Structure 1
């Protein structure tokens, strides 16, 4: 311990490392996002019973996850609110026809977002197959930079890690990103003076306030909640 009471506290380095190229790229893009975009996050809790039922009803041949069903609902919501299916670069807000959704995947080097192309043109089975294939490629290290290009929106799901809420960071130059949290049971009023147990899910939407407003984000989440509540329609 130092004899100088006014001196800095001593600290001993346990270990140090330089960032790997992939991690440096991730760090650079996150810094770019916070430097350029005006981040605002709004949250909404939704009923998740239909979402789980649709995933279970997919059958062994399809075996969709909750994320796959959610992507179907998301695509329909983006159709109604196209301003979120967009990028903002050089002062220009570009809205796209295709819903090219980046789906965050954790690998050893960090969090990456391979792009699932044209989600709106795919069935639930097609989304499940393609998302699984992309995830396996990421985990095997079989990807190129093209795998991450052309996105129009991003989804990050921390629900499997038990997270209740978080603030997802926009993937530049996109306009918005949806954070998905854990599915949990909650006691709610049953409408007859009693209570019932309902399966719930919290969604966190971060958006660039330069391009869209809070009211727009609230309406987007309202539409997404409606499609999630009708999720069984995606099972054919």
Structure 2
């Protein structure tokens, strides 16, 4: 006699239902395209090791946020919102950070990230993550972002196609860091520590060439990372 419990459909409701509806709205209401690049972050990793030896906990994500703020200042068309055919650029980086929690995906906003040091970013982001995991974020803390960051670097994913957090026009995805053999310029090879970067942008506003230039600038920024804490 088969006593196994019957398999029952699971409805998309509650937080999962809200997320599902927002994802469909994003895909149906914008012209999304994702571009991929990778950057050798060996220097950045070395800087993080120096900070770690001084007792400072600053992640790759924190460093990328710092670099991203500088790049967005030079590419203001990527930092803002598009609603009813009107693009509103943001004078600062109010960064929505995708966080997986027991209650579902949340995107609290790290406000004024463009004016923060890597250490300040690390502290502010850690606070958002802790309160998101504990379910202690206010609704107001998840509104008003101008750009979004999604990090899958702790998984085996190198590149992906993140969905826009509308009405924002761009979103950056971080993949894992992997060692890659590259030419050393002297006829040999060296090991590069390559970070996967995935930029999703709304093609209604942002064409392929500016997206390519944006990613190139971001790659240079993280490859030459020399920020002070």
- Provide the TM-score with structure 1 as the length reference: 0.91
1:67 aligns to 2:61 (yes or no): yes
Measure the CA separation in 1 of the matches of 2:143 and 2:14.
Answer: 18
Measure the CA separation in 2 of the matches of 1:194 and 1:153.
Answer: 40
Find the counterpart in structure 2 of residue 120 from structure 1.
Answer: 114
Q: 1:79, CA displacement in angstroms?
A: 0.5
Measure the CA separation in 2 of the matches of 1:84 and 1:123.
Answer: 21
- Provide the TM-score with structure 2 as the length reference: 0.93
1:38 aligns to 2:31 (yes or no): yes
User: Which has the higher mean CA deviation after the structures are superposed, 48-57 or 170-179?
Assistant: 48-57
Match of 1:15 among 1, 8, 21: 8
Find the counterpart in structure 1 of residue 228 from structure 2.
Answer: 235
Measure the CA separation in 2 of the matches of 1:13 and 1:197.
Answer: 52
Measure the CA separation in 2 of the matches of 1:26 and 1:56.
Answer: 37
Q: How many residues align?
A: 224
Point out where structure 1 has 5 or more consecutive residues left out of the alignment.
Answer: 1-11
State the superposition RMSD in angstroms.
1.4
Within-5 A mapping of 1:112-191 = 112-191=106-185
Give the greater-gyration-radius structure (CA).
1
User: Quick check: 1:54–1:235 contact (8 Å CA) kept in 2?
Assistant: no
User: Quick check: 1:86–1:96 contact (8 Å CA) kept in 2?
Assistant: yes
Find the counterpart in structure 2 of residue 55 from structure 1.
Answer: 48
Q: 1:123, CA displacement in angstroms?
A: 1.1
Cα-to-partner distance string for 1:179-209 (whole Å, 9 max, x where unaligned): 1100000111111111111111110100000
Point out where structure 2 has 5 or more consecutive residues left out of the alignment.
Answer: none
User: Quick check: 1:57–1:235 contact (8 Å CA) kept in 2?
Assistant: no
Match of 2:104 among 107, 110, 130: 110
User: Quick check: 2:35–2:211 contact (8 Å CA) kept in 1?
Assistant: yes
